[in-house]
Homo-oligomer: A and B are copies of this chain.
Amino acid sequence: MYEVEIKVPADLERVRGRLDELGATRTDAVVQADTYYDAPHRSFPKTDEALRIRSERPEGGDDEMRLTYKGPLVDDESKTREEIETAVADGEKVDAILTKLGFDAAATVRKDRERFALEGYAITLDSVNDVGEYVEVETEAAGEADLESAREGAYEIVERLGLDPDDQIRTSYLGLLLAG
């Protein structure tokens, strides 16, 4: 399974109007706070790994906490990473344990995230604190053969939302936050 993902900066209010006109389905909305950690014995930016505690609050729900490890890119083309994740009861306790072990919280990315579905594509409207507003268009391709058509379909969705695929950025929100 291959994941196709395009991220472009956007005026979310306008995109919301376009989604309405296109008849997209609003899936859900969450508030996420992602804290990324530095390791005491490795440079995660160099090894292309990440260690994260995510706190996610669904609409009308309670905070859910997850601990996630992301491995380096498996290959350049598919942008596939190994990801290991589990729910934890108390994110502050996990933070305290990591801190005791010498892992330091490097930065926290906070965002409001609203999700829509349209013709097999997942469309996410992200309002990221201190970073800006972005739209992500995502879909999956079963194999390499389908990758190109999935990508073209995603570009088309981006255009129908009134956005320009050429504005695409590949930097993570963490990268954008640290660069800002």
Contact = CB atoms under 8 A, between A and B. Distances in A.
A152 B49 CA distance: 53
A90 B87 contact: yes
Interface string A41-63: 11000000101000000000000
A82 to B, nearest CB: 8
A94 interface: yes
Contacts of A73: none
Tell me the number of copies of this protein.
2
Chain A at the B interface: SS class: mixed
B51 A101 contact: yes
A12 interface: no
A71 B100 contact: yes
A40 interface: yes
B100 A84 contact: yes
Interface of A: 39-42, 49, 51, 67-69, 71, 82, 84-90, 93-94, 96-97, 100-102
25 contacts: A39-B101, A40-B41, A41-B41, A49-B100, A51-B97, A51-B101, A67-B88, A67-B94, A67-B97, A68-B97, A69-B97, A69-B101, A71-B100, A84-B96, A85-B93, A86-B88, A86-B89, A86-B90, A86-B93, A86-B94, A86-B97, A87-B88, A87-B89, A87-B90, A88-B88
